[in-house]
Amino acid sequence: MLKMKLTNKLTSLIIIGTLLSSLAFTSCKKSNDNSQNSGNAKTSMGTTDGAIDDASVSGVFVTIADIKLDGQSVKGFNETTVDLAAFKNGNIKNIGNFSLQGKSYSTVTFVLDYSKDSNGIAPGAYVLTTDNVKHALTSTTNTITVAKNFILSDTALNAIIADFDLRKMITHPLTGDTASFTFVSAAELQNSVRIVDATESANISGTFTNAIYAADTVIAYVYKAGSFTDAELQGQGASSIQFAHAVTSSVVTAGTYKLSYLDSGLYEIHFASYNDVNHNGKLVLQGMFTANATPLNILSVLLNAKATATVNVTATADVSVN
């Protein structure tokens, strides 16, 4: 009888201990889940820009009224007007520092204000030309949504960069002697911005030596390896965008170039020559350079996360496209 009572008591203690362990594990798991969505993912957001092939442009201003992650507005973001043309070759305009939920995201949406800038002055989006004239920009859509999978960590600093590619955003049709600027079609506008996790991104930089052809401007375009075709030299889509599938681009300045904020992977680089043949500030594609590079092959540049590849290029010939 005594043995049975002791056995029953021992069984009860085991059951109680198991329940307590289970409750402790559940509590711990719940605490960890809360930590993942604690709102403590310290995150900076910024903008940068690829090259624009128009010498008459001195600034391109857009007013960002709201930023949404997976459809939810970023708490603490204040409407801001950014001169996109002022931040290129890896330079960043910080547009806010936020405490966000630490989790994975799949879309970023920018809501634009075309009517007024952050100071309440019209217009909210415009091209500023070298003659100090504002050319208002508008579109049938005021949102740009970029699909991009990324994770914000609540145990590290996060940095998200939006690369607004002005070449893909704005067209400069000519009517007689009067120049005008417009946004590309609503569908094309969605493809004019890319999102990059700056903490994992890579860069390509180097020199470009050209003794072949006296171009007014040389632009370096970077592509995912194997994705460049001759069709890139022609205007594609409703807005006739050249080099439409380039990941990003850089104007060669003082013999140097820099292609910034690239995901890891295999890339190829192409160099194009431009001249202002009509003396109106609009650069016209003249040809593509063939080139040698050291120490890497410009058609096979392997980038690892957080790394910078140095590719020094010497032009060997210029092939006309006209």
**Structure confidence at residue 36 (pLDDT):** 43
The CATH number that applies at residue 280 is 2.60.40
Q: Do 189 and 85 sit in the same domain of this protein?
A: yes
Tell me what percent of the chain is helix, strand and coil, each rounded to the nearest 5: 15, 50, 35
**Structure confidence at residue 30 (pLDDT):** 38
- CA distance readout (Å), 40 to 37, 148, 271: 8, 21, 43
Q: Do 78 and 173 sit in the same domain of this protein?
A: yes
Q: Do 167 and 251 sit in the same domain of this protein?
A: no
Q: Are 61 and 82 in contact (CB under 8 A)?
A: yes
Number of domains in the chain: 2
If 0-12 CB within 10 Å is exposed, 13-18 middle and 19+ buried, where does residue 58 land?
middle
**Structure confidence at residue 185 (pLDDT):** 94
Segments of the chain scoring below 70 in pLDDT: 1-38, 53, 173-179, 322
Q: Which two tokens mark 202?
A: 């890579």
Q: Do 106 and 216 sit in the same domain of this protein?
A: no
**Structure confidence at residue 28 (pLDDT):** 41
In a domain, 238, yes or no: yes
Which domain range does residue 277 map to? Answer: 202-322
Q: Is the Cα dihedral 33, 37, 43, 46 positive or negative?
A: positive
For the entire predicted model, the pTM comes to 0.84
**Structure confidence at residue 228 (pLDDT):** 97
Distance, CA of 191 to CA of 189 (rounded, Å): 5
**Structure confidence at residue 322 (pLDDT):** 60
- DSSP element (H, E) containing 268: strand 265-275
**Structure confidence at residue 15 (pLDDT):** 37
Q: First-to-last CA distance in the chain?
A: 105
- DSSP element (H, E) containing 136: strand 134-136
